[in-house]
Structure 1
Amino acid sequence: MKAFHWILLYCTAPLLSDVQATYHLMAGDPELMAAQSYAQTRNNGRPLLRTLNPAKTDSQCRSRSLDLVFIIDSSRSVRRGEFEKVKIFLANMVDTLEVGSDTTRVAVVNYASTVKTEFLLKDYFSKLDLKKAISRIEPLATGTMTGLAIKTAVNEAFTEQSGARPRSRNISKVAIIVTDGRPQDQVEEVSASARGKGIEIYAVGVDRADMRSLQLMASTPLEDHVFYVETYGVIEKLTSKFRETLCGVDPCSMGHDCKHICVNSNASYYCKCRKGYILNADKKTCSLKQVKVEVVEDPCKCEARLAFQKQTQAAIQQLTAKHIQIERLENTVGRA
């Protein structure tokens, strides 16, 4: 019996250690406690449910700055555990981006029968603050007013008052819609209006999502903007796909043929020259700027000179004629 007690203590020690560590972690951060609430539950012997960890970080991309708005479905068909997976997906997406006031800004619009803007583009500029805000989002339940959610995102989240950068900044505006159902309102017209305002729309369908509705919402080409996963359990796999799509690669860092300066233009680049040089016709090489000297002649100079000469010659001729007359007169008088 004594040996059995030792074996029991030996087997349960790691479990007790994990429980103690989890208690201390959550006790230090009440917001994290809420986000980790599902981590201690087991369902019919299944593994522990993955939950949002705001302190976790991942690699980031640096090639694109975005005004990014997530539009997430939290209707009745989305179970509580599934909604937690959506929040993990959002947090993982935040990890892949370079977040900041001058780089990528993030907002979340939550919807069911009603729509709630959880936070705006101007609210959080750090990954940790963003993920804590995501961990506090609660599902709204009931219906699926996707069209209303898109309209709200356009009118509230993508405005300059809410933190969106002006068009003159050329910051990409991106909306990612996550839904598992069929919209109960019209999405075609409102989505077309959003795209017309320069918003690029990605539509992510889960399980029972209506593919036709996803296609009506998304930007073109559809094969790059419509995604489907069978369950919320695998939605995190889309993170790497979006990382490739939204981050891309800085073309200047991958090598270029610019003689002087390479300028990143999102998916492409263009060449510039240093001061004192001009870009050649090949748009790659530079030549020293030639200083063009223009000689401007006074159009009146020649005419004025000729006029003066004519006037002088006429005066001389008149004086000469008078002088000849005087000499003749003097000769006549002398003879008399």
Structure 2
Amino acid sequence: MKPFFGGLGYCFAILVLQVQGTNYRFYGREPQRVSPLRFAHRPVARHNLRNIQAAQDTVHTPVHGNNYRFYGYHYHQPPRISPLPTFPRPTARPEQPASTQSGHNSISSDTERLCKSRPLDLVFIIDSSRSVRPAEFEKVKIFLSDMVDTLDIGQDATRVAVVNYASTVKIEFLLKTYFNKVDMKQAVSRIEPLSTGTMTGLAIKNAMEDVFNERAGARGRSLNIPRVAIIVTDGRPQDKVEEVSIQARGARIEIYAVGVDRADMQSLRLMATPTLDDHVFYVETYGVIEKLTSKFRKTLCGEDSCSLGNHGCEHICVSTAASYNCKCRDGFNLNEDKRTCAKEVRARVTVDPCKCEAQLAFQKTVQSSIQSLASRLDEVARKMQQLENRLHNK
């Protein structure tokens, strides 16, 4: 029983000293006045560390003086307290970018909003030969999905087709098959590699004959819709590409050649449309092929200068397929620079009263002369008739 009563007495003494001796509140509303000594040698809960650290920081000589009172005792200097354990503050988790159905980062909505794609008939010709591993082919499909995201897909906008090739050629879908991004991207995700040889020339020929025609959804030449082919390959063609590429370019098909890893650069140059610097691209691996999306977006996507605000029109900017035109509001005329406007100046018509009177007098004189002449003609006609009658009677 002695230990029990001894502990009880000790607790009672501590309570009395708290009430009578200290100037600091331990459970009150002034956290800056809490004594660090009370908590120095006691197990500390992690969630209370912030308040305790604040107490250590705020109880110091310049603010509170040298006369410190803890548990009823006076100290002329603050007691030394062992340093408190520190815990790393949790860092905010970085916000992850939105992802598409394919699990990759999506294109910025701001960029997509500013970029107004010109209408295209666009055909992707993708190599799925044996050298393209399954994981690499998935990267190609991600690249295609990203490209679809950058374009204005629609029946009256950009139409897209995909030609898959190896030793054989498979048309995955035509220009007339899909007119919305969701269905098109789902179709891209279902494409399977053919895993055989590399007949690039045959793929170009099939695309030119079976895809870039009006039966397959290509629009008529009179509409002047650009026809564009993007070829993605990682190897050397096993057939001839130069002649068929010349025929395709002669049919006004613009060809971009994308080489990956082991691609033969000479073959890429033979396929692509001049200028080669603008139509031949190369990446080291399929893992970075998505970087080409931004390059093709700048090439294929006509930026809406009116929306971007870099048109220079003073009044009204009107976007066109190739560029823009400036117009003026009512009451203004477009200046010679085709950008600024000037207020329309209408010529004032002044009436000269004297001129009007003279004109009226002249009109009366003419009318009188015409009437007099008509009367004389009538008189001559009457006399001629009398003469004819006399001759007839004789």
| TM class by smaller structure | 0.5 to 0.7
Q: Distance in 2 between matches of 1:235 and 1:270?
A: 36
User: Paired residue for 1:229?
Assistant: 283
Structure 2 counterparts to residues 196-211 of structure 1, below 5 A: 196-211=250-265
Q: From the superposition, tell whether residues 282 and 131 of structure 1 become closer, same or farther in structure 2 (CA, over 3 Å).
A: same
1:255 aligns with 2:310: yes
Alignment-mate amino acid for residue 253 of structure 2 = I
Q: Distance in 2 between matches of 1:259 and 1:183?
A: 54
Match of 1:138 among 176, 192, 217: 192
User: Once structures 1 and 2 are overlaid, which stretch shifts more, 89-98 or 111-120?
Assistant: 89-98
Match of 1:195 among 243, 249, 257: 249
Total equivalences in the alignment: 259
Alignment-mate amino acid for residue 108 of structure 1 = V
Kindly state the Cα deviation for residue 228 of structure 1 after the two structures are TM-superposed: 0.5
CA-to-aligned-CA distance 1:82-138 (integer Å, 9 cap, x gap): 111111111121122222222222110011111111001111122221111111111
Alignment-mate amino acid for residue 200 of structure 2 = T
Q: Distance in 1 between matches of 2:382 and 2:133?
A: 119
1:171 aligns with 2:207: no
1:77 aligns with 2:135: no
Q: Is the 8 A contact 2:232 2:257 kept in 1?
A: yes
Q: Provide the secondary structure at the position in 1 that maps to 2:132.
A: coil
Q: Provide the secondary structure at the position in 1 that maps to 2:256.
A: strand
Match of 1:53 among 85, 101, 106: 101
User: Paired residue for 2:120?
Assistant: 66
Q: Distance in 2 between matches of 1:289 and 1:64?
A: 39
Structure 2 counterparts to residues 214-293 of structure 1, below 5 A: 214-253=268-307, 254-258=309-313, 261-271=316-326, 281-284=336-339
Q: From the superposition, tell whether residues 276 and 120 of structure 1 become closer, same or farther in structure 2 (CA, over 3 Å).
A: farther
Kindly state the Cα deviation for residue 68 of structure 1 after the two structures are TM-superposed: 1.3
User: Paired residue for 1:110?
Assistant: 164
1:154 aligns with 2:203: no
Alignment-mate amino acid for residue 230 of structure 2 = I
Q: Is the 8 A contact 1:52 1:84 kept in 2?
A: no
Q: Is the 8 A contact 2:120 2:228 kept in 1?
A: yes
Q: Distance in 2 between matches of 1:318 and 1:169?
A: 70
Q: Distance in 1 between matches of 2:283 and 2:299?
A: 17
Q: Distance in 2 between matches of 1:252 and 1:229?
A: 34
Q: Is the 8 A contact 1:69 1:106 kept in 2?
A: yes
Kindly state the Cα deviation for residue 167 of structure 1 after the two structures are TM-superposed: 2.9
User: Paired residue for 2:152?
Assistant: 98
Structure 2 counterparts to residues 22-61 of structure 1, below 5 A: 53-54=101-102, 57-59=106-108, 60=112, 61=115
Q: Is the 8 A contact 2:242 2:270 kept in 1?
A: yes
Q: Provide the secondary structure at the position in 2 that maps to 1:161.
A: helix
Q: Which has the larger radius of gyration?
A: 2
- Superposed CA RMSD in Å reads 3.5
Alignment-mate amino acid for residue 53 of structure 1 = Q
Q: Is the 8 A contact 2:122 2:229 kept in 1?
A: yes
Q: Is the 8 A contact 2:166 2:197 kept in 1?
A: yes
Q: From the superposition, tell whether residues 165 and 54 of structure 1 become closer, same or farther in structure 2 (CA, over 3 Å).
A: farther
Q: Is the 8 A contact 2:328 2:334 kept in 1?
A: yes
User: Paired residue for 2:178?
Assistant: 124
Q: Provide the secondary structure at the position in 2 that maps to 1:110.
A: strand
Q: Provide the secondary structure at the position in 1 that maps to 2:274.
A: coil
Structure 1: runs of 5+ lacking an equivalent: 1-50, 291-304, 321-336
Q: Is the 8 A contact 1:58 1:95 kept in 2?
A: yes
Q: Is the 8 A contact 1:54 1:128 kept in 2?
A: no
Kindly state the Cα deviation for residue 198 of structure 1 after the two structures are TM-superposed: 2.5
Q: From the superposition, tell whether residues 234 and 62 of structure 1 become closer, same or farther in structure 2 (CA, over 3 Å).
A: same
Q: Name the % identity.
A: 66
Kindly state the Cα deviation for residue 282 of structure 1 after the two structures are TM-superposed: 4.0
CA-to-aligned-CA distance 1:119-173 (integer Å, 9 cap, x gap): 0111112222111111111111222111111111111222222222223333332
CA-to-aligned-CA distance 1:215-263 (integer Å, 9 cap, x gap): 1111222111110111112111211221222224212223324455433
Q: Distance in 2 between matches of 1:319 and 1:153?
A: 91
Alignment-mate amino acid for residue 58 of structure 1 = I
Q: Is the 8 A contact 2:233 2:259 kept in 1?
A: yes
Q: Distance in 2 between matches of 1:152 and 1:62?
A: 30
Alignment-mate amino acid for residue 324 of structure 2 = Y
Kindly state the Cα deviation for residue 281 of structure 1 after the two structures are TM-superposed: 4.8
Q: Distance in 1 between matches of 2:380 and 2:321?
A: 82
Alignment-mate amino acid for residue 143 of structure 1 = G
Q: Is the 8 A contact 1:55 1:128 kept in 2?
A: no
Q: Is the 8 A contact 1:95 1:127 kept in 2?
A: yes
